[in-house]
Amino acid sequence: MLKEGDLAPLDIEVLDANENTTKLQDFLGHKIILYFYPKDNTPGCTQEACDFRDFNPEFEKLGAKLIGVSADSVESHTKFADKHELPFDLWSDTEHTLSDAFGAWGKKSLFGKIRLGLTRSTFIIDENGKIIKVWPKVSVNGHTEEVLRFLNDYKQNE
């Protein structure tokens, strides 16, 4: 998994919920909250997305762009975003290229079985593409508040 101080892979292209090709490089000049989550419309992922939705105005005030990434299809993301009124981008990483580059794709244990999947993780990337904070294994409860606290502290120390 990429670490704080590493440069984010800026040139990997994925599709957004409007089927447009996009990449992190398109968002340089903003702080980026990039969060990887396992699957649309599952309890933990829905809670996480809705928590990020509720805090999005605060993130925007801090100049941060919020992006959610999973291996779900564009169609799944569109339905998920519409259902929960998500005001931020969801990227479809069906080939796992972006999640693999960040180290968020790999073997994980679920109900005692080992399988490949996304590890729920969050990365904060600065305006120049450097990773400034990593949460490698996210517990959904309280995570959004923790991200906001970090960004507030970071802004005060800039």
Domains along the sequence of the chain with CATH: 32-157 (3.40.30.10)
Determine what percent of the chain is predicted with pLDDT higher than 90: 90
* Contact present, 100 and 77 (Cβ < 8 Å): no
On the question of pLDDT at 118 being above 90, the answer is: yes
Say which residues have a Cβ less than 8 Å from residue 95's Cβ, sequence separation at least 6: none
Predicted local distance difference test score (pLDDT) of residue 115: 85
Catalytic annotation, pick one of 45, 66, 81, 104: 45
Whole-prediction pTM: 0.96
pLDDT tens digits along 28-61: 999 999 999 999 999 999 999 999 999 999 999 9
Q: Which residue has the higher pLDDT, 60 or 106?
A: 60
On the question of pLDDT at 110 being above 90, the answer is: no
* 45 carries an active-site annotation: yes
Comparing C-alpha atoms, which of 81, 2, 72, 69 is closest to residue 37?
69
